[in-house]
Amino acid sequence: MTISADNNIHPMTNCGVTLEVDVREKWYYGALAPFSTHYRQKLKLARTPLADRIVLDHLLSTEHPKIIFAKNSKAACTSIAHAIFRLASGYQYNGRIHKESDVLTQGREHWEKNMSRLSSPLYKSVTFVRHPVDRLESAFRDFVVERRNPNHVYHMAQFRKFGYNENRSITDNLNIFLDYVEASHEISRLRTDRHWRLQVDNVGWGRFQYDYVGRVETLAKDLQSFLIMAGVEAEAAARVASIRMNTSRSTERIASNSMIYRIQKLYAEDFEAFGYD
C-alpha cells in the first residue's frame, strides 16, 4: 500500500522550516457563503481561531460506545484510534486509520458533530499525553532515522539545511533535529508540525475539557480504565486496550543530558501541565 503525505503542511522556504498551513479568510467567502455549503465551511474554518482549529481537526468520536478522543500526535494516537475502531466495529482495521470515515467520526467535515459530542454529558472524552523527551525522540526516529511517517518528505530538505547528515552520529543528528524544532517553535508555535508541537496546544489544554487524561507510559491501564468509565464491559475494554500500532523499533535513550535540559526548557508547559519530571 502506498501511503501519501499529508497535504496540510508545506515548506516555508523563506524561514527555513516546514510549518502547517494556516487558513486565511478571502474577501469572497462571505459573499458566496449564503449560496454555497462549500464556502460556508471555508468561512467558518477561516474564522475559527487556529488554537481551536488544531484540536477540532483531530477529534475522533463514535456513537457506540459514546466516546470522543482528542488526538495528540506522537502520544499513541494511532494505537488508540485502532482500539476505538475495533471496539466500535468488532474487527481490526487495515489501512490509514486517521482517514477511516465509515465507523469513526473524525476530520474537518465533522467539526460540528464532534464539538456537540465533546460538550454532551452523554459522551465521555479522553486525550493522552507522553513524556516530552520520549515523545521528541519518537518523532526523531519516525521522521529522520526510520522515515516511516510519509510527511518526512516535507522536512528532509529543511533538516539538511540545519546540518543533518546520515554520516553523523545519531546523537549529533538528534541535536540538529532539536535545533530545527526550536526554530519551528520560534517562528510559529501553533503552526509547528503537530508531531513536535507542544502537547498543551495539541489538546487545547485549558480551553477544552476532558473526562480522562491518560499517559502513554501506562497506556493499556489508562485506556482500559477510560473505556470502563465510558460504559464498556471490562473484558472488551481489556481486549482492545493492548492494541499497539506504529511503535518505534528502538526505545533506547538518545538524548544527552544537555539535550534533555533543552527539551525541558522548550516543553516546560508540557512538563508542568501533565506532571512530568
Each residue's pLDDT tens digit, 241-270: 988 776 666 678 999 999 999 999 999 999
260 found inside a domain: yes
CB 89 within 8 A of CB 83: no
Is there a single domain that holds both residue 28 and residue 139?
A: no
Within this chain, do residues 38 and 139 fall inside the same structural domain, yes or no? no
231 located within any domain? no
17 found inside a domain:
no
Q: Could you give the CA distance from residue 200 to residue 207 in angstroms, rounded to a whole number?
A: 10
Same domain, 167 and 37: no
Asked if residue 111 is part of any domain, the answer here is: no
Q: Give me the residue label for grid cell 518526512.
A: 152
pTM of the model: 0.91
CA distance 12 to 81: 31
**270 and 136 inside one domain:** yes
In a domain, 127, yes or no: no
175-190 residue pLDDT tens: 999 999 999 999 999 9
What's the mean pLDDT in 122-151? Answer: 96
**Hey, what's the cell of 21?**
498551513
Domain assignment present for 237: no
Task: Find, among 275, 270, 230, the residue nearest to 72 by Cα.
Answer: 270
Q: What is the pLDDT of residue 4?
A: 43
* Residue where one domain finishes, among candidates 49, 66, 93: 49
Residue 98 maps to a domain: no
Strand (E) or helix (H) holding 105: strand 105-106
In this structure, the answer to whether residues 39 and 166 fall within a common structural domain is no
One domain for residues 42 and 140: no
Are 163 and 35 members of one domain? no
Task: Give me the domain span that covers residue 27.
Answer: 23-49
- Span 23-62, pLDDT tens digits: 889 989 999 999 998 888 889 889 999 999 999 999 999 9
Indicate whether 146 belongs to any domain: yes
pLDDT of residue 13: 44
Domain count, the chain: 2
> Do both 260 and 159 map to the same domain?
yes
